Structures are given as C-alpha cells and as structure tokens.
Amino acid sequence: MPKNLASGPGTNVTNLKTMIAAILGYGDRYNPINALISLMALQALYLLGLSAVNSVDAVQPANTNAKNARTDAFDLLDKLTTRIGNAFKSIVANEPAREHVRSMILVIKRGRVNLKKEQPPVTDPTAEPTNGKENASHKSGYDKQLENFNKLIYYLASFPAYVPNEADLTVESLTAFYNELNAKNQLVIDTQTELDKARIIRKNVLDHPESGLVVLAKASKNYVSSVYGARSLEYRQLTKLRFKTYKS
C-alpha cells in the first residue's frame, strides 16, 4: 500500500490525479492534438507514476533496516578491538608485535567514514604502498573497517600463543564475527542497489524531459489555458497544482 503521496515526488502523482478529475469535468472540450496529454494517456501516466513511487517506498524499508542492523553490529567492534588489544598484551610479550596490534586497532577504530575531522590520521601498518594519487575514499568506512579487521584476525592467528580463555576473543570467534559483519554490510549493498534501481525508474517516469509526468502535466495545463483562457475558472482550477522535479 502506498504511504503518504503528498510529499516529495509523490506530490506530482497526487496532483496529476486531481488534474485528471478536473479534466473529466471538461467533457469533450478537452481534446488536445498531442496524444501524450490525452485523457487516456494521462490516466495511464498516473498509474505508471503511482507504481514507480510505490516501488521506491516498497524497497526503502529493507535498506533502512539493513543499515540500522549494520550500524548496531559495527558499534560492537570498538569495544571488542579494545579487548583484543588488552588480551594480546596479556599473552604475547613481544613489544613490536604489541605495537603493531595497537596500530591495527587504531586503524579499525578510526576507519569509519563519519569520523570527526579533528582526529589525527592513523597510518595503517598493513596497507599496500600507493603512488600518492590514489583516492583513499573509494571504499566506504564499513568496507575499510572490515578489511582491516580481517587483517587483524590474520595477524592474531600468526601467534600460536594467542589462545585466550574468553571464547569471543579467540581467532575462531573473531572470524565468525567478521563473517557476520560482512554479511550485514553486503545486505546494505544489495538493498541499496535495489533502491537505486527503483529510484532511477521513478526518476525516468516523473522527470523524463519529453515523456515524464512533470513535463506532460505542465503541457496539459497549458492546453487548458489555451482552450479556456488564462483567467478562466477552468484554468485557475489547475494553477494550484504544482509539478516539479525532486532530487532522487
């Protein structure tokens, strides 16, 4: 079922429905030569627009829920990595290795895309060398955190002595948690793809420069003005109906 269409792109669809109701009252005098704004064409366009708007609304919740679930899961990573660092220090006496783990954890903690700007940059000790021109933002913060968390797990696994008694800090448990995070991140990507597709279809139906709902609705208003006059009650009935382009 559609949600409130009286906002955003849905406003255009709602207003077209109102316009069609008015046009029905004009009877045979509404007889444009432009077939794209005939009564039947406008009625079909309304149904197409309604379907396009509802399709976006239908897939939006899955994306929102996936994002919320991902945020909740990744929020656990901060405290978990702190515990990992402390566990490693309590087991492995190698100071360079401790420092390396500390650096890797800092990279994970500060790798989210929404970090405060005043935080100092952290050098990733496991990063591949670059030529200095590579765009560091080509991955999302979640992707980077996943990548660096995976590197940390592999590094911990390289120390046979790292076998903590705490079940959730073992390499096996951390790997399982990584897989869970990866699945939640992938679900966001998948649902975002579906949402983007629906938005593209909606954009084309509503805003196509030649066959879109917005341009044809305006053309219909102009036709009514040409038939009845700009000061007529019939045209003034339609002037309050706004049709405009919205950002996707």
Among the four given CATH numbers 3.30.160, 1.20.1260, 1.10.3050, 3.40.50, the one describing domain 10-126+137-239: 1.20.1260
For helices 10-26 and 213-228, the axis angle rounded to 10 degrees is 30
**DSSP code for 121:** P
pLDDT per residue over 171-224, tens digit each? 999 999 999 999 999 999 999 999 999 999 999 999 999 999 999 999 999 999
Name the token pair of 154.
Answer: 């592999």
Q: Where are the domains of the chain?
A: 10-126+137-239
pLDDT per residue over 74-91, tens digit each? 999 999 999 999 999 999
Q: How far apart are the first and last CA of the chain?
A: 21
Residue 36's pLDDT is: 97
Name the token pair of 129.
Answer: 């060398």
The HSE-up count of residue 112 (CA atoms within 13 Å, CB side) is: 10
Name the token pair of 150.
Answer: 């995976």
pLDDT per residue over 89-130, tens digit each? 999 999 999 999 999 999 998 865 444 343 444 444 434 334
